Amino acid sequence: MAIQSVGIVGAGQMGNGIAHVFALAGYDVLMTDVSTEAMEKAMSLIDRNLERQLRGDKITQSEKDQAFGRIKTTPTLTDLGQCDLIIEAATEKEAIKHKIFEELLPHLKPETILTSNTSSISITRLASRTDRPHRFMGFHFMNPVPVMQLVELIRGIATDQETYQTLLQVVEQIGKTSATAEDFPAFIVNRILIPMINEAVYTLYEGVGSVKSIDQSMKLGANWPMGPLELGDFIGLDTCLAIMNVLHDGLADTKYRPCPLLVKYVEAGWLGRKSGRGFYDYSGETPVPTR
């Protein structure tokens, strides 16, 4: 089926980036969020990011204006019902995702494809609570969406071939590269990445190295562009913890046990960049290690 209109649930870090790339690729985008303020911030950020692309000669003024004009917002979730494709990019809590899809279902077109940008939750389980498990997939973008090239496509056990092929074409249309992952906890990228960050937290917790020495070691010794603790702060420590819990619960292997220090930081509300403090303090001009 041809996809022309895209509904995005969530105007946060991921949702606004997804709206940006779809609008730039020529799709009509309708974005919703429970917070009107979040939608206003998202539109402002999209405008700034498009402007950055314009200054870098990646897009023209006409392309910027047209893309921004294709994005509309609404405070009403059910307004998304007539979209061809819906991408849920809400918080990484399964109960919230189920509630969103449940509210949407009575308002959807029969042919609408439902997807979730979840970074770790079972696609099969999310799909099973809808009326269209055959038209349901995981559509996992990387952060920041306008910059990162990969999209993980995750088929649930009931996903049909037509839905899969349609989303393959959509990924190509928005100028990204797809990697097909099986529906196991955390899929490919986060199955590998988040335990590495968790191990870096254990290295800090056990006193093997300081925040600075751990991040510096991985940047200069393994050629990482960003240290693992710095990356954890960028992703959000609450998100890292949620993914570790999904891995630990879903695979029942002690190697996925979340580090107690990671748990403590999240309990303290030290979630990384978005809260102003994590393994670094972001209140000054440059981030300062907190340990």
Cβ(278)–Cβ(237) under 8 Å?
yes
The size of the chain, in residues, is 291
Active site residue 248: no
Active site residue 172: no
Neighbours of 238 (CB within 10 A): 20
Q: Is 143 annotated as a binding residue?
A: yes
Q: Is 63 annotated as a binding residue?
A: no
Active site residue 285: no
Q: Which helix (H) or strand (E) holds 140?
A: strand 136-141
Beta-bridged to residue 150, according to DSSP, are 177
Active site residue 140: yes
Task: State the catalytic residue, choosing from 190, 198, 230, 248.
Answer: 190
Q: Is 119 annotated as a binding residue?
A: yes
> Look-up: residue for tokens 């196991």?
184
Q: Is 274 annotated as a binding residue?
A: yes
Q: Is 33 annotated as a binding residue?
A: yes
Q: What angle do CA 281, 285, 290 make, to 5 degrees?
A: 15
Amino acid in the structure at residue 232: G
Q: What angle do CA 161, 162, 166 make, to 5 degrees?
A: 115
Task: State the catalytic residue, choosing from 49, 116, 119, 122.
Answer: 119
Task: State the catalytic residue, choosing from 49, 117, 140, 198.
Answer: 140
Q: Is 12 annotated as a binding residue?
A: yes
Is the dihedral angle over the CA atoms 79, 81, 85, 86 positive or is it negative?
positive
Rounded-to-integer distance, Cα 13 and Cα 63, Å: 22
Q: Is 15 annotated as a binding residue?
A: yes
Q: Is 14 annotated as a binding residue?
A: yes
> Look-up: residue for tokens 């709206």?
19
Q: Which helix (H) or strand (E) holds 230?
A: helix 228-235
Task: State the catalytic residue, choosing from 20, 116, 120, 152.
Answer: 152
Q: Is 69 annotated as a binding residue?
A: no
Rounded-to-integer distance, Cα 60 and Cα 64, Å: 6
Q: Is 13 annotated as a binding residue?
A: yes
Q: Is 64 annotated as a binding residue?
A: no
Neighbours of 48 (CB within 10 A): 9
Rounded-to-integer distance, Cα 21 and Cα 144, Å: 11
Q: Is 183 annotated as a binding residue?
A: no
Binding residues for NAD(+): 10-15, 33, 92, 97, 119, 143, 274
Residues marked active site are found at 119, 140, 152, 190
Binding residues: 10-15, 33, 92, 97, 119, 143, 274
